[in-house]
Amino acid sequence: MMGVVPGAVHPRGERLAGPLFAAIGIVALAVCTIWAAGDHVSSVTLVVAGLSAAWLLLLVPLFPRRAQHPWLAVGFFAGLLTGAAALTTLDTTYTAFASIGYPIAFVLFAARWSIFAVTATAVVPLLAKGIWGTDTPTPAWVFVASVVGPMLYAAWFVGAENDKRRRANAALAEANARLETALEENAGLHAQLLTQAREAGVHDERQRMAREIHDTLAQGLTGIVTQLQAADRASSAESRQRHLTQVHTLAKDSLTEARRAVQALRPEPLTDSRLPEALAELARRVRDTSGVAVTAETSGEPVPLLPELEVTLYRVAQEALANAEKHARASRIAVSLTYAGDVVLLDVRDDGAGFDPASPARGDGTGFGLQAMRQRVRRVAGTFALESAPGEGTAVNVQLPAIPADR
């Protein structure tokens, strides 16, 4: 009951509660007056009863506004108790009417204040009767109505509140169950998205390797075969040697391309090192070869990630450092790797020349590198952000799901 707000009445009964309680009070008042009339009720008693009945009618307009105007509710209840106390001193029969204060107290005030109203209902009429009342005995039915009636109403009220709480708890439990189901479904969808992203990445990587082989190894081997055939048909030793020299050059170039394509699958620094160490080594190498002040920091608890994720982060950092070193003419570059629970963050910031990201792609290769970074991040269900402006440097931000590597 302590959580009840003023007027603990179902919304559908809000309009009827005021008239209902006013009618109950008037009926109780009428019954007591009729009973008291058998003992030749005085005119003063009738006047007070009439004023009390009129006062009860004020409950009709007041009831819907009791929460917004609590002091009006207090004033109404004080007037009701005054009338009940006056009638009780005039005739003990009206003790039954005074009991109407119990249910009205419960519905008119918040729970913590209704306790005071109930106490006043029990005490004020008794005090008035003891001080100013007569010694006439109280009828048995009046005693029963004054005691049993409020007890029954209180029991009904408590039961209704308990039912309301049970329904609220059941609704909350159902909502929690739906939330857990939704979270499980979201987790499943996220896992499915990552699986699709990995499959798409594998497919794209296969296509890239096919293009690499077609554009480099296949053409190189074709050239070697062509030169060997030409050497067999050569009419002089000088011509034959020239074709064999071309074969040697093509073979060396093809070997270089083959090694480059294999290294592109997984960077060599990641083969024997964890990602933070690999990024630190990358920063050191760029610093030593370019003279640019490059720093690499790691925060959070490093965990081994899926190879696709670590390769993506390393390649993005590699491309961002290359752009900052070659094109931005930066003097300072900062690489930051952050492990933050379910995500891992990579930030590469420089103080270089900067550029307008909305401008058309430039011819220095920066545009192609940025597009390659975006594609790599998108393949593993990550987000890529670029911040730059002319003269204000460049910041590359990458966020990927921190999926641990399979043990």
Q: What type of residue is 387?
A: E
- In the three-class reduction of DSSP (H, G, I as helix; E, B as strand; rest coil), residue 282 is classed as helix
Secondary structure (DSSP) of 311-341 = HHHHHHHHHHHHHHHHTS--SEEEEEEEEET
Q: Hey, which residues does 349 pair with through a beta bridge?
A: 334, 395
Cα distance between residue 323 and residue 140, in whole Å: 100
Q: Is the pTM higher than 0.75?
A: no
Q: Across the chain, which distance is largest between two alpha carbons, in Å?
A: 152
Cα distance between residue 55 and residue 228, in whole Å: 119
> What integer pLDDT is reported at residue 136 of this predicted model?
57
Divide the 407 residues of the chain into consecutive groups of 10 and give the mean pLDDT of each group: 43 65 82 74 80 85 80 86 82 77 78 74 70 58 54 60 77 83 78 71 65 58 76 82 80 71 58 81 81 88 86 87 77 91 91 77 59 85 89 90 77
- In the three-class reduction of DSSP (H, G, I as helix; E, B as strand; rest coil), residue 54 is classed as helix
Q: Which structure tokens are listed for 227?
A: 């030169």
> What integer pLDDT is reported at residue 338 of this predicted model?
94
Q: Which structure tokens are listed for 282?
A: 């990358």
Pairing assessment for the beta strands 332-340 and 343-350 based on DSSP bridges? antiparallel
Cα distance between residue 84 and residue 91, in whole Å: 10
Residue in this structure with the two tokens 């900052």, named with its chain if needed: 324
CA dihedral defined by 140, 144, 146, 151, rounded to 10 degrees?
170
Q: Hey, which residues does 383 pair with through a beta bridge?
A: 399
Instruction: Beginning with the edge strand found earlier in the chain, give each strand of the sheet holding 394-401 in spatial order.
Output: 293-299, 332-340, 343-350, 394-401, 383-388
Contact (Cβ atoms closer than 8 angstroms) between residue 79 and residue 59: no
Residue in this structure with the two tokens 């390797």, named with its chain if needed: 209
> What integer pLDDT is reported at residue 365 of this predicted model?
47
> What integer pLDDT is reported at residue 163 of this predicted model?
74
